Chains A and B, each alone.
Chain A
Amino acid sequence: MSFAHRHLLGLEGMSREELTFLLDTASSFKEISERDIKKVPTLRGKTVVSFFYEASTRTRASFEIAAKRMSADFISLSGGTSSVTKGETLLDTARNLAAMRPDAIILRHASSGAPAFLAARVECPIINAGDGAHEHPTQALLDALTIRERKGSFENLTVAIVGDILHSRVARSNIFALHALGAKIRLVGPPTFLPPEMRHWGEVTSNLHEGVADADVIMMLRLQIERQGKHFFPTIDEYSRYFCLTKDAVRKAKPDVVILHPGPLNRGVEIASDVADGPYSVIMDQVTNGVAVRMAILYLLINRPRLEETDRPRLEENEREVPVVTTSANDKETRPRLRRKVG
């Protein structure tokens, strides 16, 4: 199995095998962040440009840490500080960046499809760090990795996704990925966030308690406060009365339920503090796994041409692969080698 994609634009259409390969690769990268010296030279001499047209703390920091742990040079640009404020188009900005020969561009943008637009027009790999209401693939991968660590597999899992699914890129990527991985999906929120076509994506309900009943996983979405006043719901208070995940609601789920939230939390709005900080919450695992997932994506996309030349050995089951890099000063020698380790 190898990863044949040049870009990571979204998870829609990815097969179970591809997703499993991504999760396996990410899993193998976790060990690096456990080390005393959290740095490998895998991407030394590579330049990663992150371009965030929308504000973000967590995702950008996570990508930066991922890149730096693999010794890539990381340049971070944001909408507010760049030529965007001078009226330059996305295409011109991207062309200029691409002309500086980065090895990957990470893009967050308010418009759905912006990463696909760039991918069709510049040479280097594009990583979607969230585009409008479309996809946020690395978030869904880190969610899937977190679920797999806790549940072992996705077969027969019921995942309830709760909140503003209509506008959520996190929900879309998760729906596409979890569906491909074999989980059963429930979508929970007020009817204003659940257009009729959503039935094709999963079971739909506007009753939180019904929606989380016997769920193995509950995935809460962040409520965009600015939706208030756009007729989707009357007030934040009323929204939270019906859709805030409280201890009471959690009791309806399976006893070993895990609760995810992509952050940042609106405490007391979509999730009660005692639930967010409680025993079922895996929110901090998500954040930790985010770094591993992003390391894996950077590694696979930037090293893609070389990986294709390499005949990678197939790994037996219950073996983990860990990329190990020779510490030679010569860049050509920094190709990762696979060390077999019994898991």
Chain B
Amino acid sequence: MSKSLLICGGHVIDPASGLDEPRDVLIEDGRIRSLSEPGRLAAASSSHQLDASGCWVVPGLIDMHTHLREPGYEYKETIETGTRAAVAGGYTAVACMANTAPINDNAAVTQAILDRAEAAGLARVYPIGAVSKGLAGLELAEIGEMHRAGIVAVSDDGMPITDGGLMRRALEYTRMFDLPVIVHEEDRAIAGDGVMNEGEMSLRLGLRGIPAAAEEAMIARDIQLLERSGGRLHVAHISTAAGVALVRDAKRRGLAVTAELTPHHFTLTDDAVAGYNTNAKMNPPLRSGRDVEAVRQGLLDGTIDAIATDHAPHHRDEKETEFDHALNGIVGLETSLSLSLAMAAAIGLPPLRLFAAMSLNAARILRLPLGELSEGKEADVAVIDPTLKWTVDATAFESKSRNSPFGGMELTGRAVYTIVRGKLVWQLDGAARKSEKKSRVKVNA
């Protein structure tokens, strides 16, 4: 006997069907049973009811680029803490990168990740397998074996695929499994030993720069390979204006290329590095204001398909060090939604398109039966209060790590309920929510 769940009083936004209306949502047996106009649906006697008044009810967010760190780096994050951070941020599914220890370049590791995720019982976890054995960029990993175990894409993320011949074969070979090849585009020879974006700020700080051309050159190479290889190319964390232009042009040519963008790359410029802030150190680096404008434009015109967090937890000791020695990356699952809402408002991206970028589009790229909120679909749902003001406190993150450049920032909009497989797995602390709402009223009064 499974319980039913009624989400009432909310405003449903479902990019797949284009529905953008007040609806009550009834969930049964882990699936969406029905959507009905407000008040029409009397709660069944057994059903649990969630009050979503003033809230948006959207398909659970899907992050196609997460580092869960388990196995091997459990001091940074575990599958359990990482998926808890996910559901706290409104995410119901995450795809996790292969750079664990051992590396996810074989079916045994893939299976182990899936087992741990099931035990955690929070967000759904979809492993991404390595392209090359040991992420070494020398020979293909057993992609078919990992596919049988459940990977949804391949990627050597963190390590660019320097060998163009290997890249070509990876694009060809993955056609057999319809898996996208997710690429961290960086020409390491051009990037040199750079630690931040090359520009005025790197010059002032005396830090070695990574020119935008390091990313652009590799995107250009892979698009040219794609022309003949077939397969599907997905550009991870695109950060440069010219990179976006290359993807835009490739899409016009009808090539199977998609791209994702992180909240930090559409929010911050390399000015955030001032003062040698290691929480502004990531790869690709934060770019110029011109690049930020261009990636936002790319999202607006559909060149960029998905918003992905590149959630990269690191221990405090790995960030509290000289800038040169600090590790790359920031945590992102718990701030992504709020930053995306702010960006969407700033550029005039309507909610239907925003939530396509945060859910449906990732599902389509990864071929997941998710990201839709209509009858019969999987009941992965986020209930979002789009007006809730909150102040980012990294010490309060569900993630094990606190490496965020957004600490102290006042943001608006937050997930209040997260439902996975029809089960409420997370809700924003009621008291906190109430008091924050109250303070908001006060401010507005």
Question: A and B bound?
Answer: yes
- Which residues of A pack against B, CB within 8 Å? 12, 89-91, 109-114, 116-117, 131-135, 166, 169, 172, 195, 197-198, 200
Cβ 8 A contact of A113, one of B203, B208, B322 = B322
- A-B contacts, 22 of them at CB < 8 A, read A90-B321, A91-B321, A109-B322, A110-B324, A111-B323, A112-B205, A112-B206, A112-B207, A112-B276, A112-B324, A113-B275, A113-B322, A113-B323, A116-B275, A116-B276, A117-B322, A117-B323, A134-B206, A135-B206, A195-B203, A198-B203, A200-B200
Residues of A close to B205: CB separation below 8 A: 112-113, 134
Cβ 8 A contact of B324, one of A111, A169, A172 = A111
Residues of B close to A195: CB separation below 8 A: 198, 203, 209
- Determine the residue in chain B with the shortest Cβ distance to A198: B203
Known: A91-B320, A91-B321. A113 touches B200 (CB 8 A): no
Residues of B close to A12: CB separation below 8 A: 204
Residues of A close to B198: CB separation below 8 A: 195
Q: Give the number of residue pairs across the A-B interface with Cβ within 8 Å.
A: 56
Q: Size of chain B's interface in residues, with CB distance under 8 A?
A: 19
A113 x B199 contact (CB < 8 A): no
Residues of A close to B203: CB separation below 8 A: 166, 195, 197-198
- Determine the residue in chain B with the shortest Cβ distance to A118: B322
Residues of B close to A134: CB separation below 8 A: 205-207
Q: How far is the CA of A200 from the CA of B317 in the complex (A)?
A: 36
Which 6 pairs of residues, A with B, have the shortest CB-CB distance? A134-B206, A113-B276, A133-B206, A111-B322, A112-B206, A111-B324
CB of B300 to closest CB in A, whole Å:
29
Complex interface residues of chain B between 218 and 251 (CB less than 8 A to chain A): none
Interface residue B325 (Cβ < 8 Å from any Cβ of A): yes
A89-B321, A116-B276, A133-B207 are known; give 10 further A-B pairs, CB within 8 A: A12-B204, A90-B322, A91-B320, A112-B207, A112-B324, A114-B322, A135-B206, A195-B198, A197-B200, A200-B200
B199 x A197 contact (CB < 8 A): yes
A112 x B321 contact (CB < 8 A): no
CB of A128 to closest CB in B, whole Å:
11
Count chain A CB atoms within 10 A of each CB in B200, B204, B208, B320 and give the residue with the most.
B204
Q: How far is the CA of A90 from the CA of B203 in the complex (A)?
A: 24
Residues of B close to A113: CB separation below 8 A: 205-207, 275-276, 322-323
Complex interface residues of chain B between 256 and 307 (CB less than 8 A to chain A): 275-276
Count chain B CB atoms within 10 A of each CB in A109, A132, A169, A198 and give the residue with the most.
A132
- Determine the residue in chain A with the shortest Cβ distance to B322: A111
Q: How far is the CA of A114 from the CA of B322 in the complex (A)?
A: 6
Q: How far is the CA of A134 from the CA of B322 in the complex (A)?
A: 13
Count chain B CB atoms within 10 A of each CB in A91, A111, A116 and give the residue with the most.
A111
Residues of A close to B317: CB separation below 8 A: 89
Residues of B close to A169: CB separation below 8 A: 206
Q: CB-CB contacts of B304-326 with A at 8 A, as 1s and 0s?
A: 00000000000001001111110
CB of B192 to closest CB in A, whole Å:
9
Residues of B close to A133: CB separation below 8 A: 206-208
CB of A26 to closest CB in B, whole Å:
24
CB of A6 to closest CB in B, whole Å:
15
Count chain A CB atoms within 10 A of each CB in B206, B317, B324 and give the residue with the most.
B206
Residues of B close to A111: CB separation below 8 A: 322-325
Residues of B close to A198: CB separation below 8 A: 203
Q: How far is the CA of A54 from the CA of B325 in the complex (A)?
A: 16
Q: How far is the CA of A132 from the CA of B323 in the complex (A)?
A: 11
Residues of B close to A116: CB separation below 8 A: 275-276
Residues of B close to A117: CB separation below 8 A: 276, 321-323
- Determine the residue in chain A with the shortest Cβ distance to B192: A230
Q: How far is the CA of A90 from the CA of B321 in the complex (A)?
A: 7
- Determine the residue in chain A with the shortest Cβ distance to B325: A111
Known: A89-B321, A112-B324. A172 touches B275 (CB 8 A): no
- Determine the residue in chain B with the shortest Cβ distance to A91: B320
B322 x A172 contact (CB < 8 A): no
Q: How far is the CA of A134 from the CA of B275 in the complex (A)?
A: 12
Q: How far is the CA of A112 from the CA of B322 in the complex (A)?
A: 8
Residues of A close to B320: CB separation below 8 A: 91
- Determine the residue in chain A with the shortest Cβ distance to B277: A113
Q: How far is the CA of A169 from the CA of B198 in the complex (A)?
A: 17
Cβ 8 A contact of A131, one of B199, B206, B275, B321 = B206
Residues of A close to B325: CB separation below 8 A: 111
- Determine the residue in chain B with the shortest Cβ distance to A92: B317
